[in-house]
Amino acid sequence: MQGMNFKKDTSAGYLANHMARLFASGLQRRIKPLGLSPGQFPALVALWAKEGRTQKELVELLDIEQATLANTLARMERDGLISRRASEEDGRVQQIFLTDRAKSLEEEAIGAALAQNAEALAGFSESERDQFLDYMRRAIAAMQSAETGSAE
């Protein structure tokens, strides 16, 4: 069977990958001047909302693996965005705090992310935008349940 029917622009997976890369590079362009990178964004958002969280708490909040977060946090510490303080009750745990610099970037950084989202959805009506977000949430939920899922 030669020439099976597979076109990249009709593949949801292909489009999702391409779209995500454009979101990331657009965000990067906007926040690089602030000394931030896209992968740090989710952790920053969680810490702007509440400091002193542990790595475990962040892993539960963000949809990434523990090892990925550990590396991201190491880069953030290196870049002067966070500091970590060992817990006294439990020697395995560290609480994570934002530096003054990281705190000072909240407004601009969130503005950049919102601007990037707006750029991507510029041609969308409000209801189209809502529907698009809903579709993405549904696709995510479907794949997550398949992940955990039962027999094939």
Binding residues for DNA restricted to 61-120, rule: CB under 7 A: 63-68, 70-75, 84, 89-94
Residue 71 binds which one of DNA, a second copy, none, with CB within 5 to 8 A depending on kind? DNA
Task: Please tell me whether residue 52 adopts helix, strand or coil conformation.
Answer: coil
Handedness of CA 108, 110, 116, 118 (dihedral sign): negative
Give min distance, CB of 139 to a second copy, in A. 4
The yes or no reply on residue 8 touching a second copy (CB under 8 A) is yes
Q: Which is nearer to a second copy, 86 or 136 (CB)?
A: 136
Q: Which is nearer to a second copy, 13 or 91 (CB)?
A: 13
Give min distance, CB of 73 to DNA, in A. 6
The yes or no reply on residue 116 touching a second copy (CB under 8 A) is yes
Q: Which is nearer to DNA, 16 or 128 (CB)?
A: 16
Token pair for 81: 């965005």
Residue among 31, 82, 98, 113 that touches a second copy (CB under 8 A): 113
- The partner residues of 95 in beta bridges, in order of sequence, read 54, 85
Residue among 54, 83, 99, 117 that touches DNA (CB under 7 A): 54
Which pairs from 50-56 meet CB under 8 Å and 24+ separation?
A: 51/96, 51/97, 51/98, 52/95, 52/96, 52/97, 53/95, 53/96, 54/87, 54/93, 54/94, 54/95, 54/96, 55/94, 55/96, 56/93
User: Alpha carbon of 110 to those of 2, 119, 121, 145: distances in Å?
Assistant: 49, 14, 17, 30
Residue among 21, 101, 137, 138 that touches DNA (CB under 7 A): 21
Q: How many residues interact with a second copy (rule CB under 8 A)?
A: 59
